[in-house]
Amino acid sequence: MKILKKVWKKLLIVAVLLIVALVILILSPNFKKDPNEGKINFIINNNNVTAKLKHDIFIDDNGTIYVSIDDMRNYFDDQIYYDKDNSQIITTSETKVAVIDLTKKVMKVNGAEVKLLGTVIREDGIFYIPISELDNVYNMEINNINNQVVTLDSLDRELIKADAAKKVKVKYNTKLISKTVDKVEQGEKLIVISEKDDWAKVRTNNGKIGYVKTDVLTNKAAVRQALEQEPQISGKVNLVWDYYSEYVNAPDRSGTTISGINVVAPSFFSLKNSDNLEINDNAKKGGKEYIAWAKENGYKVWAMFSNSSMKEITSKILNDYSLREKLIEEIVDLTLKYELDGINIDFENMNKSDEDVFSRFIIELAPRLKEYGKVTTVDVTAPDGSETWSLCYDRDLLAKEVDYIIFMAYDQYGISSTTPGTTAGHNWVETNIKKFLGQEDVKKEKIILGMPLYTRLWKTDVNGKSTSSIVNMNQIDNQIPEDVERIWNDDTKQYYVEYDSENYKYQMWIEDETSIKEKLNLINQYELAGGAFWEKDRETDNIWNIAKEILNIQ
């Protein structure tokens, strides 16, 4: 009997120990040691990112807060840039471009010089950026809590606060038993991060994040609303380029309207063929009258700025930061001078090696224009092609920086082609839309589909040599002999003609209202941002009404 009692006693002890171990196992995550203990905690928009930092943040004797460039790239600006040639770091936000001088305590913000308490520090080959000097650049509020916690709150986000109705303990999580991360006195303000069931996730004045019951919160109110920027265009964009050369006045459109469009892109500005940075200002002659006409009719004016396909001059400007900065200042000044609604960057025929510096140009330009509520658009070609025509654009990156990228979906077979073919076959256009959305990873709401208001008449001699000439849409019927049959091609969604004359074979893939309808339908099918047409005065009269109906342009 005694032996049996001893066995039961041992079994009871083992059971108790197992129960204790199980309780410890269950509760231990709620009481585990804080992995951020001993470090300066870094709270970004109510998320404690301390454990995820690649390098610890630190605070100098002047109170300047430093964050590594790697963590800046991860949390604030994935395109922050070390300009080794000019000993500076360039960082951008939605509306600001900050250039931090590495040699002295100054930086330029949107061109204006600002004095700094601390500048960039380099330790073990790593740059540390004075984040506390960049609060206005990133539009955020920064607080240093006893050199133990640093909080950064975006001023663009909603902020909800509440009072503690009584003295309360803030818990690590919502479990029945959980450790206390902070204690709050009655009446103390708490930032309310989220609410679920009867628990609220909060942040205390000490920067601690945890949970309290919702019934201990009172006087809850939004002290800051989320900042939402209204787009210039409600619904689909429909743009028409209005090209004219630098040698003539801007088109006189007075007394006319274009029913199906809501944006005009006149060719106001271009680079000059000069070793120094010089700009053709084509808006000087008749531009103000053109802008007045556009605005009277409710059209936005996104003026085109072209590099005139000058590869070497473009390369020189893009690779020289001072010239690039000067060009950006010129563009901003011209936009404000003429009270434009936006800028359409049309840089073509560039070196593939200049892909990154072209992206830098756009990264540094877009915030400057956005500061004034201006739209930035960039024209790009189909993803796969020659180095200077297609491979010179980082479409994914460009689309992230600008309001829209415009896919110039034409010249499938262009002036350099030696084989006859369509200017913009539906199958080719659709294939490349899929490439933009797939391999290029461009968001559909950023893509405007550019369409041609012209085609090409191909002429092939007896030796098989082919040349082509442009035929505007409104002149196509005049070019095709009356007895030539128009044959529908279901791949290109175009009518095709072929005929012989004077020992030459002629071919044309026709752009008309039928082919344009099919392309416009792609915009709706793939939920793109809208359409664009190259160029005004090449169209037939019915094109704008077709675009208005399909794109629902108001």
Is the Cβ–Cβ distance between 360 and 319 less than 8 Å?
no
DSSP annotation of 288: H
For residue 327, what are the CA distances in angstroms to 53, 337, 518?
37, 15, 39
CATH number for the 237-551 domain, one of 3.30.465.10, 3.20.20.80, 3.40.50.300, 3.40.50.970?
Answer: 3.20.20.80
Q: CA 268 to CA 101: how far, in whole Å?
A: 34
Is the Cβ–Cβ distance between 376 and 365 less than 8 Å?
yes
pLDDT of amino acid 25: 45
User: Closest Cα to residue 139, out of 100, 118, 110, 119?
Assistant: 110
- The CATH-assigned architecture of domain 41-153 is 2-Layer Sandwich (3.30)
Domain ranges of the chain: 41-153, 158-224, 237-551
Q: CA 63 to CA 102: how far, in whole Å?
A: 19
Q: Which residues, at least 6 apart from 421, have a Cβ–Cβ distance to it below 8 Å?
A: 412, 413, 458, 509
What digits encode the pLDDT tens for the residues 208-217?
Answer: 999 999 999 9
Which pTM was predicted? Answer: 0.92
* Mean pLDDT over each residue of the chain, to the nearest integer: 94
Q: What does the DSSP assignment read for 410-467?
A: --TT-TT-SS---SS-HHHHHHHHHHHHTTT---GGGEEEEEESEEEEEEE-TT--EE
Q: CA 120 to CA 117: how far, in whole Å?
A: 11
pLDDT of amino acid 13: 62
* Main-chain phi, psi angles of 356, to 5 degrees: -70, -40
What digits encode the pLDDT tens for the residues 309-334?
Answer: 999 999 999 999 999 999 999 999 99
Is the Cβ–Cβ distance between 57 and 66 less than 8 Å?
yes
What digits encode the pLDDT tens for the residues 254-306?
Answer: 999 999 999 999 999 999 998 889 999 999 999 999 999 999 999 999 999 99
CATH 2.30.30.40 fits 158-224, yes or no: yes
Q: Which residues, at least 6 apart from 319, have a Cβ–Cβ distance to it below 8 Å?
A: 354, 357
pLDDT of amino acid 15: 57
Strand partners, 222: 160
For residue 145, what are the CA distances in angstroms to 33, 120, 401?
21, 22, 34
* Main-chain phi, psi angles of 358, to 5 degrees: -65, -40
DSSP annotation of 271: E
Q: CA 161 to CA 92: how far, in whole Å?
A: 30
At CA 391, angle to CA 314 and CA 302, rounded to 5?
55
User: What tokens does 4 get?
Assistant: 């049996």
What digits encode the pLDDT tens for the residues 37-80?
Answer: 779 999 999 999 999 999 999 999 999 999 999 999 999 999 99
How many other β-carbons are positioned within 10 Å of the β-carbon of residue 417? 16
Tell me whether domains 41-153 and 237-551 share a fold.
Answer: no
Q: Which residues of the chain have pLDDT under 70?
A: 1-36
User: Closest Cα to residue 235, out of 448, 69, 471?
Assistant: 448
pLDDT of amino acid 3: 61
* Main-chain phi, psi angles of 222, to 5 degrees: -80, 115
User: Closest Cα to residue 396, out of 422, 362, 349?
Assistant: 362
pLDDT of amino acid 297: 98
Is the Cβ–Cβ distance between 307 and 348 less than 8 Å?
yes
User: What tokens does 338 get?
Assistant: 């003429």
Q: 185 preceded by cis ω (within 30°)?
A: no
